[in-house]
Structure 1
Amino acid sequence: MATISLCMIVKNEEKTLARCLDSIEGLVDEIIIVDTGSTDRTVEIAAEFTDKIFRHPWTDDFAAARNASFSKASMEYCMWLDAEDVLLPTERDKFLQLKQSLPPDTDMVMMKYNTAFDETGNPVFSYYRERLIRNVPEYRWVGEVHEVISPAGNILYSDAAISHKKEGPGDPDRNLRIYRRMLESGKNLDPRQLYYYGRELYYHWQYEEAAAVFEKFLDLPEGWVQNKIEACTVCADCYYRLGRNDDALPVLLRSLSFDTPRAELCCEIGNHFLKCGNYRSAVYWYETALTRERNDRTGGFVLPDCYDYIPMLQLCVCYDRLGDREKAREYNEMAGSCKPFSKAYLYNKRYFESLS
């Protein structure tokens, strides 16, 4: 059976740390906690689970802190979690089976990361992350923000999922502040950093600058294709928010130059035509979304609802506005089969009943 060191970096996590560690208790062989300057009960709580607690000065560098935690590990594999992460009870058996059956030549295990949920708790936003990493010096974190260990070696994909259950806003300005300091110090952002810098600008409603950063990123010959596709979507939304709708569609269509369209992208293009009142074109793209095969293992962000519920619901809207009420009703019922408690589905259902 593989042995695992859970390696965490924490700061002022008294609200969530015990929940996180309780969820993984009994499944890892060692817990490493690296505290970067807590002023609350974080260290006290950590001591209830492990005596391997270390201090690391915070230097605006997540990779450095995570590498400090990995350097203390003594097991075959390092596993990382954030304090707001949990292994849900439904995932514990999957994780235990993974640990018991992990082939000895495995270098990395990619696990699904669920980060947003609907009203029933089902994930609506997820992606795969490197979660278990062989404890050898060549696998170390890079990147001051949105740090990563690039997948390499023998990679295994697991069905076990980690859920990010955020509690409160944290420090919403931290990442943008770090990027600003990097730029002020004269550091050039690599393509991945440039992409995430654009996202941070977007989250801070700085749409003009964010769009310029995304356009710069898209013009680079380098850059991960998944980030390129997602940059097109976020850049287009910047243009919508700036009232530059005519600039949005070209950047959405630009994503087709990187790969075949994902359902997420089809829904974005469909939404463009829906907002323009071009319902037949919107129908084409939403129906195309329903034909796209979902592949969670691309590494990109996955919105599961874009493969069924969202295009079905939007097709209901399109056909209603085209005057085909029967087809609109059919698509609403299809959407309801995906999410029977959806407020949008139930609202539409009442609307069609009122027409009877």
Structure 2
Amino acid sequence: MIVRNEEENIGECLEGIKNFVDEVIVVDTGSTDNTKEIAERYSAKVYDYEWNNDFSRARNYSIAQATSEYILILDADESISDPEALKNDIKLNKDCYLIGINNFISGGQSFTHKAIRIIKNNIGLKFINELHEYIDTKSHLNLKIGEGHTKIIHRGYLDEEFSRKNKSERNLKIIKRATKKNPSAYNYYNLGRCFITAKDYYNATKAFKTSYEISNNEVYTPDLLNKLSLSLKEQGEIDKALEIIYNGSLIFTQETEIIYNLGTIYEELGDSGNAVICYQKCIEIGERGYQVTKGIGSYISKYRIARIHNSNGEYFLAFNLLIDIIKEETVNFPLGIIEFLDVTRKANIPITNVKETLLSICNVTKVEELQLLLDLLYHHRSALLLPVIDHFKVKLPRLNMGIAFLYKKNYIEAAKVIKELKIIEPSITNDVILLGYLLEESNILKDHHLNINKKTIRTLTSIIDKKEVDFALINTDEFFEVIDFLVVQLIRLKELSKLEDLLKLILISNNIKLKTFISSTLYNNGLRDVAKQLLSQEVEKEHIPVNIIEFYAELLMGEGTYEDSIRLYERIYKTNKSYKIQKQLCNLYSRTSQFNRLEQIKNDMKELNPILYTGFRWSELR
């Protein structure tokens, strides 16, 4: 291994492998911490190496020090899942072995890829490439390559690890220099990856396009297409992103990541039918391909389909899928449980039944699992939190109990807890405001030093005290987020009279931005008629933003008011001939039997988006 300042990781790495290797070679490129001392405790042979911004040279120096028949290459932030399997693998006497690498990223997700990490010593195998170095197999004829049966666990892509080592800035400098020296397809591909990490999507797009143009169907091409599509999408060019990934899906029919990303773009464009087909294909083929995010061949794609069913009001279908997901992943996939809570709330399933169902399928048997479940229910502000606390007879801090009381609608007990607190944590600021609004007690806001703007506090106090409020005077994101939080929680708590009072204030205001913001929230929570009411007068104004017209047209389409929806979409289509608008007009013209107009849109699509025209499911227009 080559290392630098890895005292936080190297001990764990060597501890897991010490009984399965004959020697440990550690090449240090300039550590200023205790890395070398820790390595020596494990009887490692430690060599100093002057860093020259070239990973392949350092790697080749490290393998030159090895004396054993086979060499295992690891990084300090990696560990082996099944070291015993290594012994069995090398009995096959291959020249090198591909090992699956499970890369953990922040947010509890991970993705896998394969790389050669075991090589036979003294047969001339070397690393090439200054960054993202790899074993050069093309220079060796008749090389026998085996598949390893262990897994490498890699933690280096976690946000805290990445920033601790300043990897982003370092890697970009190295790959820029390497690409200038050797403008290969692989270097341009890695340059694009580094630009994505730096969120420079314009230059990432240029690099990926160059790589694709000069490459020859490389092993990393599927990932290149995925990342090129992502870069285009991040720049607002979603139709181009769709075209790239759609073409990729025709070439790489068994690459789960490409098919999944195609589904997410269809979903973003409102084409839920094609999105579901993509997610179902992912489930059918499982997790295959060059690089695959864990779960997209199973529970994550099921979750995406369940979310679409939920959005369409198909709660029974969503419920059954979510049951499968939770049985499969228990508390380890929080999004599945959150969606389950949302579906059961919208379907008006009694909270007692929800609790019994959730606990029976979660099968919580460990303290860590219970803690995860309680944390999830707390952060989601679920009415289920207090019943689960009572079920397991656990004691939580007073602050958590206050939140549990609030969302079980025991407002008086919640207020007692809040009034006991001398300092209000920022994480519960909105909960305190909600409680004040529900109890009509503005003093709850005044008596605590809430971590929000004074103007926002004054406006919220006026709302609670039923004084005149001019929402047009306050346009901050902070205020919008507070109002949005109140609307969401009032819906969940079924405090409909309180919700109505708040929405009346928003309705009579001249704040279009706030109306649009809250309309979207109402729509996503099933209150489509109310969402429509908030915007009905605004959409007829001359200089209204296009996104508001589009959102309102979608509302009208959802409720079956097709002619008015067509009028608005045609208004948008004069300046925006995107796939999304074309698709909506095709559906609307088909539903209203306006076949001449449908043919015109089909001709436009064939001319402007020929690839997407081919992929459109014309037979399913309705």
Normalised TM-score (structure 2): 0.52
In structure 1, what is the equivalent of residue 100 of structure 2? 112
Whole-angstrom distance in 1 between the partners of 2:256 and 2:320: 20
From 141, 146, 152, the equivalent of 2:127 is 141
Does residue 85 (structure 1) correspond to residue 98 (structure 2)? The answer is: no
Point out where structure 1 has 5 or more consecutive residues left out of the alignment: 1-7
Paired residues of 2:319 and 2:344 also in contact (CA < 8 A): no
Q: Secondary structure at the match of 1:47?
A: helix
Structural mapping, 1:164-313, within 5 Å? 164-166=154-156, 168=161, 169=163, 170-172=165-167, 173-183=169-179, 186-224=180-218, 226-295=219-288, 300-313=290-303
Does residue 337 (structure 1) correspond to residue 327 (structure 2)? The answer is: yes
Whole-angstrom distance in 2 between the partners of 1:110 and 1:270: 30
Does residue 75 (structure 1) correspond to residue 56 (structure 2)? The answer is: no
**Deviation of residue 98 (structure 1)?**
3.4
Counterpart amino acid of residue 316 in structure 2: E
**Deviation of residue 270 (structure 1)?**
1.1
Q: Secondary structure at the match of 2:14?
A: helix
In structure 2, what is the equivalent of residue 3 of structure 1? none
Q: Secondary structure at the match of 1:146?
A: coil
Whole-angstrom distance in 2 between the partners of 1:76 and 1:335: 45
36-45 vs 256-265, which deviates more? 256-265
Whole-angstrom distance in 1 between the partners of 2:85 and 2:133: 26
Whole-angstrom distance in 1 between the partners of 2:105 and 2:6: 22
Whole-angstrom distance in 2 between the partners of 1:49 and 1:174: 29
**Deviation of residue 164 (structure 1)?**
1.2
Q: Secondary structure at the match of 2:207?
A: helix
Q: Secondary structure at the match of 1:307?
A: coil
Whole-angstrom distance in 1 between the partners of 2:266 and 2:303: 15
71-80 vs 327-336, which deviates more? 327-336
Whole-angstrom distance in 2 between the partners of 1:193 and 1:117: 23
Whole-angstrom distance in 1 between the partners of 2:89 and 2:281: 36
Does residue 353 (structure 1) correspond to residue 344 (structure 2)? The answer is: yes
Does residue 326 (structure 1) correspond to residue 316 (structure 2)? The answer is: yes
> Any idea what the Cα deviations from partners look like across 1:142-191, whole Å, max 9, x if unmatched?
000000004561122122111113362212211101122334xx413211
> Any idea what the Cα deviations from partners look like across 1:221-260, whole Å, max 9, x if unmatched?
4251x32111111111112211111211011112135321
Whole-angstrom distance in 2 between the partners of 1:149 and 1:118: 28
> Any idea what the Cα deviations from partners look like across 1:6-47, whole Å, max 9, x if unmatched?
xx1111111111111111001111111111111222222222
From 92, 99, 119, the equivalent of 1:103 is 92
Counterpart amino acid of residue 184 in structure 2: D
In structure 1, what is the equivalent of residue 22 of structure 2? 29
Counterpart amino acid of residue 24 in structure 2: I
Whole-angstrom distance in 2 between the partners of 1:244 and 1:59: 39
Whole-angstrom distance in 2 between the partners of 1:284 and 1:46: 51
In structure 1, what is the equivalent of residue 50 of structure 2? 57
Point out where structure 2 has 5 or more consecutive residues left out of the alignment: 349-622
Are the structure 2 counterparts of residues 353 and 324 from structure 1 closer, same or farther at C-alpha, using a change threshold of 3 Å?
Answer: closer
Q: Secondary structure at the match of 2:114?
A: strand
Does residue 126 (structure 1) correspond to residue 118 (structure 2)? The answer is: no
**Deviation of residue 261 (structure 1)?**
4.1
What is the percent sequence identity of the aligned residues?
24
Does residue 40 (structure 1) correspond to residue 33 (structure 2)? The answer is: yes
Q: Secondary structure at the match of 1:114?
A: strand
> Which structure dedicates a bigger proportion of its chain to helix?
2
Whole-angstrom distance in 2 between the partners of 1:261 and 1:87: 28
Whole-angstrom distance in 2 between the partners of 1:25 and 1:55: 21
**Deviation of residue 73 (structure 1)?**
1.0
**Deviation of residue 131 (structure 1)?**
1.4
Paired residues of 1:12 and 1:40 also in contact (CA < 8 A): yes
Whole-angstrom distance in 1 between the partners of 2:296 and 2:201: 24
How many residues are matched? 336
Whole-angstrom distance in 2 between the partners of 1:315 and 1:35: 48
Q: Secondary structure at the match of 2:188?
A: helix
From 144, 147, 150, the equivalent of 1:154 is 144
Paired residues of 1:232 and 1:254 also in contact (CA < 8 A): no
Normalised TM-score (structure 1): 0.88
Paired residues of 2:257 and 2:291 also in contact (CA < 8 A): no
Whole-angstrom distance in 2 between the partners of 1:74 and 1:261: 41
Paired residues of 2:222 and 2:255 also in contact (CA < 8 A): no
> Any idea what the Cα deviations from partners look like across 1:261-315, whole Å, max 9, x if unmatched?
42222221111111111211211211222222444xx5x1122311111111111
In structure 1, what is the equivalent of residue 394 of structure 2? none
